């Protein structure tokens, strides 16, 4: 897997600045994947994407995740990212409507696809255990 050069990390002083960046770049613009799927982002997805669970679900802002905010768009546009089916937790099986894009440096972006449209689910830096789990799912075709 060969990745394109990715945008530099983004450094802001506050969570509010990252939130504003997310809303301007993702929620107010059209983002399209390399294979022409339009991805919709919602403001309320910010917390799930840029917070980590420490004591409770999504309770701690993660600078490490937030600094890669511009990578989400770059991953979606990267035709060389490793693509896998996502996982449906409720049905406990691979899901044909979820696509996971994985980069060599462990960055993951997940979307839910319906035809030529998709909804953003999340993005994160995966640990080795997560990468092994992702790679048990079939390749996206």
Give the C-alpha distances (Å, rounded to integers) separating 87 from 1, 105, 118: 21, 21, 16
Q: Domain coordinates of the chain in residue numbers?
A: 15-134
What pLDDT does 54 receive? 63
Strand partners for 110: 100, 122
Across the chain, where does the E strand assignment appear?
Answer: 31-32, 38-40, 51-52, 60-61, 82-88, 93-102, 107-114, 117-125
The percent of residues in the chain predicted with pLDDT above 90, rounded, is: 79
What pLDDT does 103 receive? 87
pLDDT digits (tens, 9 = 90+) for 75-120: 999 999 999 999 888 898 999 999 999 987 789 999 999 999 999 9
């Amino acid at each position: 897997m060969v990745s394109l050069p990715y945008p530099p990390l983004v450094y802001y002083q506050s969570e509010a600045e990252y939130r504003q960046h997310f809303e301007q770049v993702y929620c107010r613009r059209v983002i399209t994947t390399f294979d022409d799927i339009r991805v919709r982002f919602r403001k309320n997805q910010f917390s799930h994407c840029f917070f980590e669970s420490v004591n409770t679900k999504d309770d701690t802002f993660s600078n490490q995740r937030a600094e890669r905010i511009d990578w989400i768009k770059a991953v979606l546009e990267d035709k060389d990212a490793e693509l896998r089916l996502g996982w449906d937790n409720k049905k406990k099986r691979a899901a044909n409507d979820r696509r996971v894009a994985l980069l060599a440096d462990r960055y993951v972006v997940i979307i839910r696809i319906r035809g030529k449209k998709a909804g953003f689910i999340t993005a994160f830096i995966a640990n080795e255990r997560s990468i092994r789990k992702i790679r048990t799912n079939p390749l996206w075709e």
